[in-house]
Amino acid sequence: MTSRTDLSEWQTLQTLAGTDGQRHMRDLFGRDEGRFERYSGEAASVFVDYSKTRITDDVLDALLALSKACGVTERRDAMFAGEPINETEGRAVLHAALRGGDRKFAVGGEDVTGEVKAVLSQMEAFCAKVHTDEHLGYTGKPLKTVVNIGIGGSDLGPVMVTEALKPYAIPGRSVHFVSNVDGTHLAETLKVMDPETTLFVIASKTFTTQETMTNAQSARDWFLSKGAGEADVAKHFVALSTNEDAVKGFGIEPSNMFRFWDWVGGRYSLWSAIGLPIALQIGWKNFRALLDGAAAMDDHFRGAPDRENLPLLLGLIGVWHRSFLGMHAHAVLPYDQYLHRLPAYLQQADMESNGKSVTLSGEKVAYDTGPILFGEAGTNGQHAFYQLIHQGTDVIPCDFIAPAHSHNELGDHHPKLLANFLAQPEALMQGRTAEEAKAELIAGGASEEEAERLAPHKAFPGNRPTVSMLVEKVTPMTLGALIALYEHVIFVQGAVWDVNSYDQWGVELGKVLAKAILPELQGGEAGTHDASTAGLIARINGLRG
């Protein structure tokens, strides 16, 4: 198998990295009035400006040629055709089928549209029952509060979306999330819960995850300790899972289970039954709109020509930054408070997907793959880590995301927020030379000597790439489209890097070792460990007595 680095397209890009990749964007903008128009586009109501990245037409052409040489389009088609592109687990990757509406999808030749629709109908009917107060608890009161117990993909998506779509929340209801196995998370959540009106949603694809099973068991114990009987569990506990046997084993009836399938990756599962807490919070119509927004982005990704295909272009630009220009990190900076959990969500989506270092055929990659992703809602990040983004030694490409309208148009808050959303990328691109800094200091009254001394500190290198994404408003539709855009960017990058974006074996080893260590913290015999781990175990056991 040829390595990506043997491809002539790869080598062309390596050469371009030393030429075009070093050009200052100030000059690129200076020489080209059409840059913004040429390097921006819109799909499914998400407008994307990628002109403030270090690309030229030559770079873009070379990236698109690389994509062709890597078979990105063929792999995309294989994904949508339900082929088992998750090769290490022998599974299809078909979360698009969950949101596809009437579009047909099949896995291994078998149509799945029907079963997807059946579960969606089951979810819709359940939501209707809860929302009309017909689903009653063990004392006859309607259930008003939802506690979702899940972790990773069974938590981050629903948390992010319910936060993002708070303006659509049905009044008088609330959704809470417990993920950490740290008892504090559950204990603090239960403190404000009324057992008579609380619905527990146990969300776990495998229904074996230690954190979730432990929290679910403790929630059940708490519920039973409040005067409810075993038979009442059915009214207050539902499961979202692929594992019917384990759900039964836990004591939840299959009729209270909302299922999904092994072709839905955990970090791509918010569109499945895992989205139930979202639907419970925002209502069915809005949940459907979320799915429709994502489906519109799927259509764009499948149908738009390469040069207009935003997920393809953004994915390739990310590869350019990471594998050719040596940029290690990627910041996601939403200028919308409701999107404050988007970076955390994308951390799992991206880092668990492309945090890989062997190719599909098992060889060590000879290039950099997935970046370190982090972020924070603007403008808070500006007062925390942006200093490093502006003047640090690492160049960190950033995504700036903003809605033109806020759900809370309070005084002049939103224009101020938007001004920051616009100013930061401008500053990151333009920078400020030492000469400019010196001139400004002198204009501000500094002496020549003082200006000379301070200018290096006040100079900004600029040429720091940013992508700006703009939506009219954060709605279920635009949010769905935005999430799907990122999913496909991750797909494109995985396809170019020749890694399996759909497994996560790296999470396993720690889990196995934790299982082995647990008995040693509960009075069991000491196991075999390195001196550091053994020393820490002994110390913890000493402290806990």
Ligand X SMILES: O=P(O)(O)OC[C@H]1O[C@H](O)[C@H](O)[C@@H](O)[C@@H]1O
Residue 494 within binding range of ligand X, rule CB under 6 A: no
> What is d(CA 402, CA 386) in angstroms, rounded to the nearest whole number?
17
By C-beta, is 507 or 536 nearer to ligand X? Answer: 507
> What is d(CA 290, CA 305) in angstroms, rounded to the nearest whole number?
25
Q: For strand 46-49 and strand 40-43, is the pairing parallel, antiparallel, or unpaired?
A: antiparallel
Residue 215 within binding range of ligand X, rule CB under 6 A: no
Stretch that binds ligand X, among 20-28, 203-211, 336-344, 520-528 (CB under 6 A): 203-211
By C-beta, is 204 or 466 nearer to ligand X? Answer: 204
Residue 91 within binding range of ligand X, rule CB under 6 A: no
Stretch that binds ligand X, among 115-123, 206-214, 434-442, 480-488 (CB under 6 A): 206-214
> What is d(CA 195, CA 229) in angstroms, rounded to the nearest whole number?
12
> What is d(CA 160, CA 169) in angstroms, rounded to the nearest whole number?
14
Residue 425 within binding range of ligand X, rule CB under 6 A: no
Among 45, 198, 209, 500, binds ligand X (CB under 6 A): 209
Residues in the chain: 545
Among 206, 214, 217, 433, binds ligand X (CB under 6 A): 206
- Residue whose C-alpha is closest to residue 425's, from 459, 388, 374, 463: 463
Residue 266 within binding range of ligand X, rule CB under 6 A: yes
Q: Show the beta-strand stretches assigned E in 4-130.
A: 40-43, 46-49, 106-107, 110-111
Residue 1 within binding range of ligand X, rule CB under 6 A: no
CB 500, min distance to ligand X, A? 13
Residue 91 and residue 263 in contact, taking contact as beta carbons nearer than 8 Å: yes
The pair of three-digit structure tokens given for residue 469, joined into one six-digit string: 């994404």
> Is 414 assigned a catalytic role?
no
In the set 68, 416, 511, 515, the catalytic residue is 511
CB 501, min distance to ligand X, A? 12
CB 348, min distance to ligand X, A? 7
> Is 405 assigned a catalytic role?
no
Among 4, 236, 267, 341, binds ligand X (CB under 6 A): 267
Residue recorded with tokens 């033109």: 404
CB 341, min distance to ligand X, A? 15
> Is 511 assigned a catalytic role?
yes
By C-beta, is 506 or 524 nearer to ligand X? Answer: 506
Residue 205 within binding range of ligand X, rule CB under 6 A: yes
The pair of three-digit structure tokens given for residue 456, joined into one six-digit string: 């290096």
> Which residues lie across from 364 on neighbouring strands?
358
Task: Give Cβ neighbours of residue 274 (< 8 Å, ≥ 6 apart).
Answer: 150, 153, 154, 157, 158, 203, 205, 240, 260
By C-beta, is 276 or 333 nearer to ligand X? Answer: 276
Per-residue contact track with ligand X, 325 to 364, x per CB under 6 A?
---------------------------x------------
CB 264, min distance to ligand X, A? 10
Residue 513, classed as helix, strand or coil, is: helix
> Which residues lie across from 278 on neighbouring strands?
none
Give the amino acid at 433. T
Total residues contacting ligand X (rule CB under 6 A)?
14
Widest CA span of the chain, in angstroms?
A: 83
Stretch that binds ligand X, among 81-89, 123-131, 205-213, 390-398 (CB under 6 A): 205-213
In the set 383, 413, 416, 515, the catalytic residue is 383
By C-beta, is 148 or 204 nearer to ligand X? Answer: 204
By C-beta, is 67 or 272 nearer to ligand X? Answer: 272
Give the Cα-Cα-Cα angle 32, 37, 39 (nearest 5 degrees): 85
CB 120, min distance to ligand X, A? 19
Q: For strand 329-334 and strand 372-375, is the pairing parallel, antiparallel, or unpaired?
A: parallel
Site for ligand X in 507-526 (CB under 6 A): 507
Tell which phi-psi region holds residue 11, choosing left (phi > 0), alpha (psi between -120 and 50) or beta.
alpha
- Distances in Å between the Cα of 29 and the Cα atoms of 39, 58, 62 are 11, 15, 20
> What is d(CA 83, CA 210) in angstroms, rounded to the nearest whole number?
31
Site for ligand X in 139-168 (CB under 6 A): 151-154
By C-beta, is 54 or 205 nearer to ligand X? Answer: 205
Residue recorded with tokens 């703009």: 470
Residue 262 and residue 242 in contact, taking contact as beta carbons nearer than 8 Å: yes
Stretch that binds ligand X, among 68-76, 86-94, 201-209, 532-540 (CB under 6 A): 201-209
Catalogue the active-site residues.
352, 383, 511
Give the footprint of ligand X on this chain (CB under 6 A). Answer: 151-154, 204-206, 209, 212, 266-267, 352, 504, 507
